[in-house]
């Protein structure tokens, strides 16, 4: 067995073990934070070197000989593997750490009355926030009557809304 085949087995084994650990324990074990200050030198992390070794030794194993051309092809392939790893992990990190922007203030949002209590002038309405339907408490001024299923525009906060002035039915 040639040295480059041993290198392929060892680096492939490290990659397999680290991937299994990442899958089981949920850690990507990256040495960069994916922010705008990330530099290409972050490719030279442990995983970057492992990917370089996999690409380098894979080319030598496939060519079955060590020549200047096979070494050059191996180096180029190893660098490509490391750069692809860098951009792949950066993409995964950014997707895993997306922050949800919650709407705190609601202004003239379409709503549908889900529940209404005439005596207390309170109820609940369905609205769509952050792309998903949610229910929010609604409180109406005296003289306002709402019906279940009624569509109206509401304003307020995430916890309590009131009908917009033009949407109120006074009786």
CA angle 149, 153, 159 (to 5 degrees): 90
The domain ranges of the chain are 3-96, 105-167
- pLDDT tens-digit series, residues 91-138: 877 777 766 677 788 888 899 999 988 888 889 999 988 888 889 999
Q: Whose CA is closest to 43, among 85, 95, 91?
A: 85
Per CATH, the architecture of 105-167 is what? Answer: Beta Barrel (2.40)
Beta bridge partners of 116: 123
- pLDDT tens-digit series, residues 129-169: 888 888 999 998 877 788 899 999 999 988 899 888 655 54
- pLDDT tens-digit series, residues 33-63: 444 445 555 556 788 889 899 999 999 999 9
* Residue-level pLDDT at 39: 54
Q: Is 95 exposed, middle or buried (0-12, 13-18, 19+ CB in 10 A)?
A: exposed
């Amino acid at each position: 067995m040639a040295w480059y085949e041993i290198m392929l087995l060892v680096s492939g084994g490290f990659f397999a073990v680290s991937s299994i650990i990442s899958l089981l324990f949920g850690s990507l074990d990256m040495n960069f934070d994916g922010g705008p200050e990330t530099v290409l030198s972050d490719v030279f992390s442990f995983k970057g070197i492992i990917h370089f070794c996999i690409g380098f030794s894979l080319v030598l194993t496939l060519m079955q000989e060590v020549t200047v051309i096979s070494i050059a092809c191996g180096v180029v392939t190893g660098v490509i593997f490391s750069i692809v790893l860098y951009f792949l992990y950066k993409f995964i990190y950014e997707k895993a750490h997306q922050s949800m922007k919650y709407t705190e203030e609601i202004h003239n949002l379409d709503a549908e009355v889900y529940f209404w209590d005439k005596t207390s002038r309170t109820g609940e309405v369905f609205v769509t926030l952050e792309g998903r339907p949610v229910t929010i408490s609604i409180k109406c001024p005296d003289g306002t009557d709402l019906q279940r299923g009624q569509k109206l525009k509401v304003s307020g906060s995430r916890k309590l809304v009131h009908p917009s002035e033009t949407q109120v039915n006074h009786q």
